[in-house]
Structure 1
């Protein structure tokens, strides 16, 4: 019960307040969601990724272990969601939206506070979560763009779009500058901090604006697919993480941190992708909202089973 209330108070309620602010602002002022999406994609998201990579202590051994886990885990998750897509006959842009809602999870503004809560701000487990967040930031800006556009534009256009994403340059730059101990000039560090700190709030307001613009004409097929997405993200995700951790022989805090990181709800990046590339915005928004609410129960269950 204590963990349940902590997740509710520290994660769900703050997220819900920001989403509600976005809904209200849109209803009053009719905010331009495309502008908000571009701010997240091209400014705030790369800023927070760069800052966390630059400031977090990460060992090479931890990085390689997390990378191996992530690759195996994502391959298994992709195989499962692809099987569901084919069994249900999901077609067109909905295929990409379904994949994104399962494969991209909220490792930043949900995963990092959750990691600090569960592991009492342990620097080692935090570094693991930051690595997961970095990999999760890279995926939407590469595979995610391909996934929502593959059915309508050519491969060359997709590559050009991916190469325009600042995140794919912010990640190696953050590693290199930290590795070579290159200081950031004060004139740049201040705007970097401002931009990084704006990411979570702006992303949540963007989700609220998208939800506020929807008429919520609920179709039975969408309800079923949202529930399928939530089941795979919140239940299948941790189960597969358990399996991968066991396969790789990982134990202790490393294993626990990786499993907890896999249990969080669908990422806001799936909504940002849907908005930016005009692909199944309603489904993406409902998947994020539903998985975030349901995660109160499922994440608490995962932490209880791990006995952290």
Structure 2
């Protein structure tokens, strides 16, 4: 119980305090979530990814965790097909449901959560956080895969199988994240020490801002979501996303023989709530936007409890030392 309370106090409450702050400020001042999204999309996320890929050690385990993320996505797609047949969903609802369980908040919640978990006890040694870069690098691999998937498969799903795949693919190549990843790997394997470059501190400042701005932006988005408690399909989606997700991850972690920090990241990342992007895509294509928005909001609220359990069991099942 002491460990559970420690996780709740040091990992979960700090995250949802900032989400709540964004929610309350938006209610009072009606903040523009599109402006915050552009700052995150064009400045903070590319800077964060660039800095941490450049500093991280990339090895075979990182490829395994990306493969696990891909397998979980495929299994969730199959889950959506099965549930749709049982529940008698229309094509549009089937695709909205699929998006809600396939795509999770690996940025707004995943990055801050992994950062907090692996920069607090018991992962602090002599005032240092030796496991943080590895943990974030693993999370970034998942984030990259999720971003590419949601901007291709997610858009195609929301478009109800209309011929929008060309636009979706084109949008992927307009994403700053793609070029941030590419440049980070180029500099990483070059002989030049980028930390001596005059703009390196600026990149660090922008990277360090991502966690707080992401969480506040999530609160702003939730403040604009209509809240209802009667939609059973929403809770079914949340069950698969928050409970089945980590169970799938545990199975695959054992299958691929991951251990320690990487295994914990795989399990924790798989249990975060539905991605905000699924609601934005649903609104853009008018594909059950109420269902999508409610799923994001309710899964986010429920994850405040479920994530504490997942972090606890991740430490028990896959000890780092």
Q: Tell me the TM-score normalized by structure 2.
A: 0.78
Verify the 8 A CA contact 2:80 2:94 in the aligned structure 1. no
The SS at the match of 2:274 is: coil
Deviations 1:146-184 (A, max 9, x none): 443455662222222222111122222212211224426
In 1, Cα distance between the equivalents of 2:150 and 2:84?
Answer: 19
Deviates more, 1:165-174 or 1:256-265: 256-265
Q: Which residue of structure 1 lines up, in the alignment, with residue 207 of structure 2?
A: 196
In 1, Cα distance between the equivalents of 2:120 and 2:25?
Answer: 31
In 2, Cα distance between the equivalents of 1:10 and 1:269?
Answer: 27
Q: Which residue of structure 2 lines up, in the alignment, with residue 158 of structure 1?
A: 168
TM-superposed CA distance for 1:234, in Å, is 1.4
Match of 1:111 among 98, 105, 114: 114
Q: Which residue of structure 1 lines up, in the alignment, with residue 34 of structure 2?
A: 34
TM-superposed CA distance for 1:230, in Å, is 1.6
Q: Which residue of structure 1 lines up, in the alignment, with residue 246 of structure 2?
A: 238
Verify the 8 A CA contact 1:11 1:114 in the aligned structure 2. yes
Q: Which residue of structure 2 lines up, in the alignment, with residue 80 of structure 1?
A: 79
In 2, Cα distance between the equivalents of 1:55 and 1:258?
Answer: 20
TM-superposed CA distance for 1:281, in Å, is 5.5
In 2, Cα distance between the equivalents of 1:13 and 1:268?
Answer: 20
How do 1:63-142 residues align onto structure 2 when only pairs under 5 Å count?
63-91=62-90, 94-105=93-104, 106=106, 107-117=110-120, 120=123, 121=129, 123=131, 124-125=134-135, 127-142=137-152
Deviates more, 1:100-109 or 1:161-170: 100-109
TM-superposed CA distance for 1:235, in Å, is 1.0
Deviates more, 1:270-279 or 1:8-17: 270-279
The SS at the match of 1:237 is: helix
Deviations 1:199-239 (A, max 9, x none): 232222222222323453x262xx32221222111111111
5+ residue gaps in structure 2?
Answer: 124-128
The alpha-carbon distance between structure 1 residues 239 and 72, as it changes in their structure 2 partners (threshold 3 A), is same
The SS at the match of 2:175 is: coil
Verify the 8 A CA contact 1:77 1:240 in the aligned structure 2. no
Deviations 1:113-135 (A, max 9, x none): 23445762552555433433443
Q: Which residue of structure 2 lines up, in the alignment, with residue 301 of structure 1?
A: 309
In 1, Cα distance between the equivalents of 2:283 and 2:195?
Answer: 33
5+ residue gaps in structure 1?
Answer: none
TM-superposed CA distance for 1:197, in Å, is 2.5
Aligned length: 304
Q: Which residue of structure 2 lines up, in the alignment, with residue 17 of structure 1?
A: 17
Q: Which residue of structure 2 lines up, in the alignment, with residue 208 of structure 1?
A: 219
Q: Which residue of structure 2 lines up, in the alignment, with residue 168 of structure 1?
A: 178
Verify the 8 A CA contact 2:16 2:304 in the aligned structure 1. no
TM-superposed CA distance for 1:51, in Å, is 1.7
In 2, Cα distance between the equivalents of 1:284 and 1:170?
Answer: 29
Match of 1:266 among 270, 274, 282: 274
In 2, Cα distance between the equivalents of 1:97 and 1:174?
Answer: 34
Q: Which residue of structure 1 lines up, in the alignment, with residue 189 of structure 2?
A: 179
